[in-house]
Chains A and B, each alone.
Chain A
Amino acid sequence: MQTALFIEQVLNGLQLGVMLFLMAAGLTLIFGVMGLINLAHGSLYMVGAFACATVAAATGSFWLGLAASLAAAAAAGAIIEILVIRRLYERDHLDQVLATFALILIFSEGTRWLFGSFPLYLDIPPLLRGTVPIPGGSRYQLYRLAIIGVGVAVAVGLFLLISKTRLGMRIRAGESDREMIGALGVDIRTLYTVVFALGAALAGLAGALVGALQSVQVGMGEPVLILAFVVIVIGGIGSIKGALVGALLVGLVDTMGRFLLPQLFGLLMNPSQAGLVGGALASMLIYIVMAVILWVRPQGLFAARG
Chain B
Amino acid sequence: MTISRETAINVTLALILLAMPFLALQLGKPFYVTLATRMAILGLAAVGLNLALGLGGLVSFGHAAFFGVGGYAAGILASHAFAGQPLNLGLFALPGTNQMLVVWSVAVLAGGLLAAAIGVISLRTSGVYFIMITLAFAQMTYYFAISWPAYGGEDGLSITIRNVVPGINTLIPINYFLVCYALLLTALLIFALIRGSRFGAALQASRQNKLRVASIGIAPFRIGLVAFIISGMITALSGALYADLNRFVSPSMLSWHMSGELIIIVVLGGVGRLWGPVAGAMLFVVFEFVLGGLTERWQFFLGLALLAVVLFARGGLVGFLAGRMRHG
Q: Decide whether A and B are members of one complex.
A: yes
Q: A31-B128, A109-B297, A109-B303 are in contact. Are A102 and B310 (CB under 8 A)?
A: yes
In the complex, number of A-B residue pairs with CB atoms less than 8 Å apart = 115
Mostly, the A contact residues are helix
Tell me, in angstroms, the Cα distance from A145 to B283 when the chains sit together.
51
Within 8 A of A (CB), among B136-183: 136-137, 139-140, 143-144, 146-149
* B136 close to A290 (CB less than 8 A): yes
Q: A93-B128, A237-B129 are in contact. Are A230 and B136 (CB under 8 A)?
A: yes
Mostly, the B contact residues are helix
**CB of B30 within 8 Å of the partner chain:** no
Within 8 A of B (CB), among A54-97: 84, 87, 93-95, 97
* B128 close to A113 (CB less than 8 A): no
* B140 close to A284 (CB less than 8 A): yes
Chain A residues with CB below 8 A from B144, complex form? 280, 283-284
Interchain CB contact (< 8 A) of B149 among A105, A113, A276: A276
Interface residues on A, range: 35 or more
* B121 close to A106 (CB less than 8 A): no
**CB of A287 within 8 Å of the partner chain:** yes
Within 8 A of A (CB), among B293-328: 297, 299-300, 302-304, 306-307, 309-311, 314
* A290 close to B300 (CB less than 8 A): no
B111-124, CB under 8 A of A: which get 1 and which 0? 00000000001001
Q: A98-B264, A284-B143, A284-B144 are in contact. Are A37 and B128 (CB under 8 A)?
A: yes
Within 8 A of A (CB), among B56-93: 59, 61
Tell me, in angstroms, the Cα distance from A97 to B264 when the chains sit together.
10
* B307 close to A99 (CB less than 8 A): yes
Please list the residues of chain B having a beta carbon within 8 angstroms of any beta carbon in chain A.
Answer: 53, 59, 61, 121, 124-125, 127-129, 131-133, 135-137, 139-140, 143-144, 146-149, 256, 260, 263-264, 267, 271, 297, 299-300, 302-304, 306-307, 309-311, 314
30 pairs, CB–CB < 8 Å, chain A vs chain B: A31-B128, A37-B128, A37-B131, A84-B307, A87-B311, A93-B59, A93-B127, A97-B61, A98-B267, A101-B260, A101-B263, A101-B264, A102-B306, A104-B303, A105-B300, A105-B302, A226-B135, A226-B136, A229-B132, A229-B136, A233-B133, A276-B149, A283-B146, A284-B143, A287-B140, A288-B140, A298-B124, A298-B129, A299-B129, A300-B129
